[in-house]
Amino acid sequence: MEERAKEIAKKLLKCKKVHIVSHIDADGITSASIAYRALKRAGKEVSYQFIKQLEGDEIERFREENHEMIWFTDLGSGQLDSLTGIDCVITDHHEPRGNAGIPSGMHRGNILSYCNNTILELNPHRYGLDGSTELSGAGATYLVARELGDNKDLSKLAIIGAVGDLQASREGRLVGKNREILAEATDSGYIDARKDASFYGLESRPLQKLLQYASDPPLPGLSGDGTACMDFLTELNIPLKENDRWRMWYQLSKEEKRNILSAVGKRMLRYGYPPSYVESLVGEVYTFPDEEWGGMVHEAKEFSTLLNSCGRYRKGDIGLEICLGDRDEYYKKAMNLLRGHRQVLVDCMKVVKDTGIEKMENLQYFHGEDRIPDTVIGTVVGMMLGSGEVDNSLPMLGFVESVEKEGLKVSSRGTKEMIDKGLDLSVVMSECSKKLGGEGGGHNIAAGAFIPEGSEDEFLALADKMIKRQFG
């Protein structure tokens, strides 16, 4: 991988101008930011754009624009054959599909010989690594940036990208090549890694809200019930306020944290949760010494959430400026987007609850029609699966009308327990959509597809059968 990173860096250094094309999520925004900063430091002229999907019309436009060099980050591996004739390099982590994909039986081992030999591509799947857990798009881009010059400080962005892509969720910590990058970042003082509660919002949510909105896993008798959470903390003699201000998790003493986690764990076991769920209450937390405590950019999960709120509303440029260090104008804009994003998600969850969840033998789903934006459907599906109000042993699918093209967008989410049983949503979304004239892909735990209007029943039947086979 390092040899390939050197090849890509050498090719980029020969260019005067480079155009960066990246995905719109947190991993894509951090990938683009890493590439942008590294190229600028190398004295290159740089432009960039964020896209939701790399498709035929978009590819033809890039071909017509005739850029000296395009650097595709966090996308491109699934379209290698279509990119022939465009001078480009790729740093991606999504499992390749189609003719450019990995043949059956070749998912492990160095298979560079199968790559399109006219395009330099760095993708962990080509080297026997899992792109959904061991290296993100930002991580792959960082490996190249490291060869472009002294860019170790960009390891911080690589970690934010990996966390935003949920790569730490399965083991409760970063693994694989991500862990090597983390070691570089911690050794250089750019990141602090510690064991702490795995809840989202350690620095931005008051204690009772932290428990109320906990969803992975949901906390029995607490998740979704703010009053119950306040009563629970009061019974533990945990003050909810200090100097008339709500207390946050990071402000608690070690003893207070231990008491809360112990009580939550006992409650989960009492409700019949497996010990693995209790163990998942604690994980590795990544914070940044150069940022202020209590903000949205001090901890990796919250930083990535801020970036996602930019990407979901086609404002990747705001996210990039934040990654490059802006804590004033663009940070304020991002916070406004985040507040709006949260309200949109609240409204979308109401839509799902009004519509209802349908259950099949091996999956569950809902249809948001045109009432849920297609830019947030994946987030809504994940929130619904972790809400504690549905069967958390079955993957969740969500359908909405697509605004990008005719047809429906499908998003799917699973859990680490489902993956351990054999679930691979990337395969499900790709193969089932292809049979209907659509397209799809992603990761084993989170994937999406586009399918023709009116084909959802057929798609569900195909997906249900395939998931049944995967579960054995």
More confident of the two residues 169 and 242: 242
Pick from 237, 248, 159, 158: nearest CA to 199: 248
- Would you identify the CATH topology of the domain 2-190? inorganic pyrophosphatase (n-terminal core) (3.90.1640)
Structure letter (DSSP) for residue 218 = B
Per-residue pLDDT of 235-278, as tens digits, reads 999 999 999 999 999 999 999 999 999 999 999 999 888 898 89
Long-range contacts for 458-465 (Cβ within 8 Å, ≥24 apart)? 459/410, 459/432, 459/433, 460/360, 460/363, 460/365, 460/397, 462/431, 462/432, 462/435, 462/436, 463/363, 463/397, 463/428, 463/432, 464/360, 464/361, 464/362, 464/363, 465/362
- Closest by Cα among 411, 308, 338 to 368: 411
91-106 residue pLDDT tens: 999 988 643 444 444 4
Half-sphere exposure of residue 282: CA atoms within 13 angstroms, side-chain side: 13
Quote the radius of gyration of the chain (alpha carbons, Å). 22
Residue 114 has pLDDT above 50, yes or no: no
Residues of the chain with CATH 3.90.1640.30: 2-190
Tokens at 173, concatenated = 């910590």
Furthest-apart CA atoms within the chain: distance in Å: 67
pLDDT digits (tens, 9 = 90+) for 322-347: 999 999 999 999 999 999 888 888 89
Parts of the chain belonging to CATH 3.10.310.40: 356-471
Residue that is written with structure tokens 């350690």 in the block: 202
Q: Taking the model in full, what pTM does it have? A: 0.84
Beta-strand ranges (E) seen in 292-404 are 358-359, 364-367, 396-401
How far apart CA 164 and CA 23 sit, in angstroms, is 13
Return the minimum-mean-pLDDT range out of 77-81, 230-234, 317-321. 77-81
Alpha-carbon gap, residue 132 to 9, rounded angstroms = 24
CATH code linked to domain 356-471: 3.10.310.40
Question: What is the average pLDDT score of the chain?
Answer: 91
Choose from 22-36, 200-214, 430-444 the range with maximum mean pLDDT.
22-36
